[in-house]
Structure 1
C-alpha cells in the first residue's frame, strides 16, 4: 500500500472539495460515472446514477453558504480510497460543522463508481 495517493486520486479528491466549496453541481456530477452509486449514510439506500448525484448535491448545497471544505486522503484498500473531510458552513443562518469519511472507488478514467459517506454534524459549530 502506498503512502501517497496516485495523481488520479489526488485530482479527484481536490475536484470533489472544490465542487462542494463552490456548490458546483455539474462539477460534482462530472466526478461520477453514469451508473455510480452514492450512499450518504450506512443506513440509507444508495442513490444510483450521475443525475441522482447531481439532484442530491443541488438539494444539499442550496441551503449552504460560506462553505469551507478540507479533504485529506488517508489511504487505500484493495478497491477503495479513504478520505477524511471537514466542512464548515452556514445553513439557515446558523453555523454547522460536518466531519466525516468517504470510501471511494475510482475507475481508470478518474471517475467515481461508488461512494459511501459516514459523517456527524454539530449544528452549533
Structure 2
C-alpha cells in the first residue's frame, strides 16, 4: 500500500543510497523481485541483486547532485513524482513512476528524464 509518508520515506532513502552508493542502502529500496526501468523503454534491471550491481556500474559521485521533488499523484498502489536533478554541468527534469509493496520497497520503478537545453 502506498501513502505519501511511505513515498517520502522511500525518496529519502533513495537519496541516501544515491549519496552513499552503499549496496545495503540500495538493496533496501527494492523488493527481491523488483523491476527498475532506468528510462521508459529500456530493458529493466530485474531483481534486487541485479539492481544493486547495475546501479554501482553507473553511480554518481557523492555530493555531485542536488535533487528537488514533489508528488503529483499518490494512490494506494502508485506514486508519480516530479523532480529536478542538477549536476555540475547538466540539469534534468524527472518524472518517476513508483509502485511500493507493503514493506515500503519498490516493486517497480521507472525514471523518465529530460535534459534541459544548454
Shared fold per TM-score greater than 0.5: yes
Q: Which residue, out of 53, 56, 62, partners 2:54?
A: 56
Give the Å deviation of 1:38. Answer: 0.5
Higher strand share: 1
TM-score normalised by length of structure 1:
0.78
Matching residue of 1:34: 32
Distance 1:96 1:21 in 2: 18
Unaligned runs of 5+ in 1: none
The equivalences for 1:1-125 within 5 A come to 5-62=3-60, 66-77=64-75, 79-90=77-88, 95-122=89-116, 124=118
Aligned residues: 116
* Greater RCO, CA 8 A, separation 6+: 2
Unaligned runs of 5+ in 2: none
TM-score normalised by length of structure 2:
0.82
Distance 2:33 2:19 in 1: 24
